[in-house]
Amino acid sequence: AQSVTQPDIHITVSEGASLELRCNYSYGATPYLFWYVQSPGQGLQLLLKYFSGDTLVQGIKGFEAEFKRSQSSFNLRKPSVHWSDAAEYFCAVGFNTGKLIFGQGTTLQVKP
């Protein structure tokens, strides 16, 4: 069955430090890949997406993600975290059916 795994439920980083959030998927072919961010009490905002082509994708708010086919991964990165990045981050995969399957989310806490 298709699935998405975000191994880290909660991550804490210091402001200014680098960030990497992990995402792995289980599927026979390359799916469409997404990262969303959800601030408390808010809806989900699309950070970036990968459909095909260059495996390093740039998104909004200084985020980027790299697709690694051999590892079935699509990890999200940011070189320097700001306090306003504290939120919950969701990885999602689509399979050209219109449906998205979401991971369980990773909560990011930023220490001053």
Partner 1 sequence: DAGVIQSPRHEVTEMGQEVTLRCKPISGHDYLFWYRQTMMRGLELLIYFNNNVPIDDSGMPEDRFSAKMPNASFSTLKIQPSEPRDSAVYFCASSNLAEGRETQYFGPGTRLLVL
The yes or no reply on residue 19 touching partner 1 (CB under 8 A) is no
- Min dist CB 17 to partner 1, Å, is 27
Look at residues 53, 13, 16, 60 and name the one whose alpha carbon lies nearest to residue 35. Answer: 60
The yes or no reply on residue 22 touching partner 1 (CB under 8 A) is no
The yes or no reply on residue 104 touching partner 1 (CB under 8 A) is yes
Length of the chain: 112
Check the CA dihedral 51-54-60-64 and report its sign. Answer: positive
- Min dist CB 87 to partner 1, Å, is 14
Task: List the structure tokens of 87.
Answer: 């939120």
Look at residues 91, 105, 8, 85 and name the one whose alpha carbon lies nearest to residue 46. Answer: 91
The yes or no reply on residue 98 touching partner 1 (CB under 8 A) is yes
The yes or no reply on residue 46 touching partner 1 (CB under 8 A) is yes
Among 27, 44, 62, 75, binds partner 1 (CB under 8 A): 44
Backbone dihedral region for residue 47 (phi beyond 0: left; psi -120 to 50: alpha; all else: beta) = alpha
The yes or no reply on residue 96 touching partner 1 (CB under 8 A) is yes
Give me the residues that bind partner 1 (CB under 8 A), please: 32, 34, 36, 42-46, 49, 51, 90, 94, 96-100, 102-105
